[in-house]
Structure 1
Amino acid sequence: MKSHQNRVAVVTGAARGIGQAVCRQLADRGASVIAVDIAEPAETLDQLAESGHKALGLVADVSDPDRTREIGDEVRERYGRCDILVNNVGIYPFVDIGDLTYETWRKVLTVNLDSQFLMTKAVLPSMKDAGWGRIVNLTSNSIGLVVPGLSAYMASKMGAIGFTRALANDVAAHGITVNAVGPTLTRTPGVVSAVSPDLQEIVSQGQAIKKIGEADDVVGTILFLTSEDSHFVTGQTIMADGGLVRL
């Protein structure tokens, strides 16, 4: 299945978790992958190499305007264009609103939302030149749930939906689609360190599909939205969450 043959894909938050799984499966389907993370994405590159794929790893803070411009320039210089952008990076500190500082608020909004804008700006010119592009912004099904301590996170993820809807209008004439994907509570290294196994089980039992989400469970939706098959789907938010939240 080479549904992404000869496509060039940039994935943020690619060092582990959902981003790592996206990189792996895009490469398996023929894409040239650029794995971007604030940490060295060595494990992701090793996994791809084991499957016979070459990939580029970039260490970057994607909430930095100058660094994101550099990424766009480097991708275009090396590959000629960017076809696919998966804005996956995100942080989710659990902080009661009474203890939430402005600094933490701004950090969450900057990493989770500003990075989507900045990375889009960085790669959009090459997508427009090519007349083809796929942008997927990660949101969260938590926006439809009762979860204490996530004021900043939920604000950023609702912002991602608004950005997705508006951007889809602005770029459709250039053959570019923009969609959002909202995972459930997914068993990634970050979640494992922050959320108890009991809570993971409780969430999974509220889903129609009663299994704890894994990174690979989310990737199929992203693969569709970054393929040619999704050419008539844009501005949408799809919850890849086992049927827990329904829009």
Structure 2
Amino acid sequence: MAFDLSGQIALVTGGGRGIGAAIATRLAEHGAHVTIVNRTAEAAQAVADALCGRGLSAGTLPWPGSERAALKGLVDEAVGGKGRLDILVHNAGGCPWAGVEELTESQLADALDINLRAFIWLVQAAIPHMRRQEYGRLLVTSSVSARVAMGGGAHYSAAKAAVNAFTRGAAFEVARDGITVNGVEPGFIAKPGRGTLSTPEKQAEISRYVPMGRMGEADDIANAMLYLASREAKYVTGQTLIVDGGSTLPETGYAVENQWGLR
């Protein structure tokens, strides 16, 4: 089987729904035992139960918050249960949207805590375990917002750009330890059943400006993560893979409309 993860132990944050649930599912389908962490424990348990019901291996741990000691405890608990940790995926993220002039200290702290600080502390906690076994995959869900602008999300873009920079720096430091550090940058991904991106009208509106003509699906991100988590990606490190249907290719939406004659 391509991308065989049999016997490997994975920890996925933000794994209770959407992209995170798809990542956890894909890793489990390829043989990994997956520990799912989510701020809503019930959502994580539902994903784990569904996987176990299919004969796959999964469990859950509660999200402890973004503080350094708590996240070290989370990693240590995941390792303690199985004796090792091969794959860490920090997918948990979010943004309290606000324009630059209205941005509060609390909103900035929230964006930095979950997107950046949590990733840094999780990586720090995981490295000693992975170094000891001379193998590891440290992964993060970043965003194309790290390189393009979106109104009301300048602080989110800043956090994700910092995530990308940290990915490169961390990858350099552990490159000779058998550990790779990589990320995936999703573009517009449909979120069935929640948020403005779940409505057919909004999806159709956005899809007009995507060169591939559609929004992405959670599985599109999960498949990219599967590759980066695999042994086949052994010579890839310090990279973030853009998965956006070509959205960041044209200079403006006008270019898309002109190319395909959209009106």
* Structure 1 residue ranges, 4+ long, deviating more than 2 angstroms after superposition: 142-146, 194-208
Q: CA deviation at 1:142?
A: 2.2
Aligned to 1:172: 175
Q: Please tell me whether residue 193 in structure 1 is matched to residue 195 in structure 2.
A: yes
TM-score by length of 2: 0.88
Aligned to 1:7: 8
Aligned to 2:261: none
Q: Please tell me whether residue 142 in structure 1 is matched to residue 140 in structure 2.
A: no
Conserved in 1, the CA contact under 8 Å of 2:192 and 2:198? no
Which secondary structure state, in structure 1, belongs to the residue aligned with residue 176 of structure 2? helix
Q: CA deviation at 1:38?
A: 1.6
In structure 1, C-alpha distance between the alignment counterparts of 2:98 and 2:185, rounded to whole Å: 21
Aligned to 2:106: 103
Which of 153, 156, 160 in structure 2 is aligned with 1:153? 156
Deviations 1:130-171 (A, max 9, x none): 101111111111233331000111111101100101001000
Conserved in 1, the CA contact under 8 Å of 2:167 and 2:182? yes
Deviations 1:185-223 (A, max 9, x none): 212369x31447344333333223222211111111100
In structure 1, C-alpha distance between the alignment counterparts of 2:57 and 2:198, rounded to whole Å: 36
Q: CA deviation at 1:123?
A: 1.5
Which of 63, 81, 85 in structure 1 is aligned with 2:88? 85
In structure 2, C-alpha distance between the alignment counterparts of 1:147 and 1:70, rounded to whole Å: 35
Aligned to 1:208: 211
Range moving further from structure 2, 15-24 or 64-73: 64-73
TM-score by length of 1: 0.93
Aligned to 2:79: 76
In structure 2, C-alpha distance between the alignment counterparts of 1:204 and 1:145, rounded to whole Å: 17
Q: Please tell me whether residue 63 in structure 1 is matched to residue 66 in structure 2.
A: yes
Aligned to 1:118: 121
Which secondary structure state, in structure 1, belongs to the residue aligned with residue 71 of structure 2? helix
Range moving further from structure 2, 197-206 or 209-218: 197-206
Conserved in 2, the CA contact under 8 Å of 1:138 and 1:160? no
Q: Please tell me whether residue 217 in structure 1 is matched to residue 239 in structure 2.
A: no
Let me know the Cα RMSD of the aligned residues.
Answer: 1.7
In structure 2, C-alpha distance between the alignment counterparts of 1:146 and 1:64, rounded to whole Å: 29
Q: Please tell me whether residue 49 in structure 1 is matched to residue 52 in structure 2.
A: yes
Unaligned stretches of 5+ residues in structure 1? none
In structure 1, C-alpha distance between the alignment counterparts of 2:78 and 2:163, rounded to whole Å: 24
Unaligned stretches of 5+ residues in structure 2? 250-263
Q: 1:199 to 1:93 in 2, by over 3 A?
A: farther
Amino acid at match of 2:9: V
Which of 232, 236, 248 in structure 2 is aligned with 1:233? 236
Aligned to 2:17: 16
In structure 1, C-alpha distance between the alignment counterparts of 2:204 and 2:242, rounded to whole Å: 19
Q: CA deviation at 1:70?
A: 1.3
Q: CA deviation at 1:51?
A: 1.4
In structure 2, C-alpha distance between the alignment counterparts of 1:233 and 1:55, rounded to whole Å: 27
Deviations 1:42-77 (A, max 9, x none): 221122122112312011134122221111221221
In structure 1, C-alpha distance between the alignment counterparts of 2:202 and 2:176, rounded to whole Å: 44
Deviations 1:68-122 (A, max 9, x none): 1111221221111110011111012221112110111011101110010111122
State the number of aligned residues: 245
